[in-house]
Structure 1
């Protein structure tokens, strides 16, 4: 079933997100906006955690999570350890929720209209996985860019 594949991908990419956030040499760089980078890694992390907890946790798993999407992009200065905890909590939530989904639920319409048109739950979960991967790449680039700038300044 596709849920096992999705569980593997979400776990892999959230673990990579955790590794990226943990790898910032200067914690303040998590929140740094440089040149045309509009969303720093800290905000992308909050956005990804909010996104997955909303559309998998709350919608499919009835976890009671309440999203504040505006805060995902406006909050600044949250400690690295808090971001890592949020990622860990999201990893812990996803597997059990996906385990509850039947083949019939996956093929049926996702309970919310999120995209431009209605989709199956299976399609939407794949969309969420690619969304995570897209922003994970941005976080990786942001970290490498700022760490290289910091290294150049030190030399």
Structure 2
């Protein structure tokens, strides 16, 4: 597996996430939910950071992060806190990949998140796709409300 390339993709897309936040017309818009859209942009940002800090940070890198998934979808943070969470998430990604090697990615992911065993590499690729899926949703959410 291309370790450095995967790390660069995570960091690139988390920086894009920060860029999306910066383009919202105001903080209030970030939290709006409109017909046909289940989550606000702010809650999706919280979800992405919580997801990566949990599945990569806590599970793979023993950071001690404790996920509050319900808060990700129902809570609220101010814009500075959201940017701090993105920064923390980038730090977790960089720290994890600094210590990883290709043999690590061939190992089993410690949790059966989908109800079946998978390799760490497989799940990391899934997490990168998940990040992009929600990044696209945030982009559309922002453009609909701008």
Give the TM-score, by structure 1 length: 0.91
- Aligned equivalents of 2:102, 2:129: Cα separation in 1: 21
1:117 aligned counterpart, secondary structure: coil
Is the Cα–Cα contact under 8 Å of residues 46 and 83 in structure 1 kept in the other structure? Answer: yes
Structure index of larger Rg: 1
Spell out, residue by residue over 1:59-92, the C-alpha distance to the aligned partner (whole angstroms, 9 max, x if none): 111110000111100113x211110110011111
1:110–1:121 contact (8 Å) kept in structure 2? yes
Taking structure 2 as the reference length, the TM-score comes to 0.96
Cα drift, residue 3 of structure 1:
1.5
Aligned length: 146
Which position in structure 1 is the counterpart of 2:88?
Answer: 89
Partners of 2:109 and 2:119 within 8 A in 1: yes
**Which aligned pairs between 1:94-113 and structure 2 lie closer than 5 A?**
94-113=93-112
The aligned runs of 1:23-38 (5 Å cut-off) are 23-38=23-38
Distance in 2 between the 1:21 and 1:118 partners?
35
Deviation at 1:38, TM superposition (A): 0.7
Task: Give yes or no for contact 2:7–2:94 (8 Å, CA) kept in 1.
Answer: yes
CA RMSD of aligned residues (A): 1.0
Does 2:123 correspond to 1:121? Answer: no
Q: Is the 8 A contact 1:3 1:99 kept in 2?
A: no
- 1:56-75 paired onto structure 2 within 5 Å: 56-75=56-75
Q: Distance in 2 between matches of 1:141 and 1:99?
A: 33
Structure 2 portions without partners, runs of 5+: none
Deviation (angstroms), 1:113: 1.1
Equivalence map 1:133-148=2 (5 Å): 133-147=132-146
The list of structure 1 runs, each at least 4 consecutive aligned residues, that deviate by more than 3 angstroms after superposition, is none
Does structure 1 retain, via aligned residues, the 8 Å contact 2:52–2:89? yes
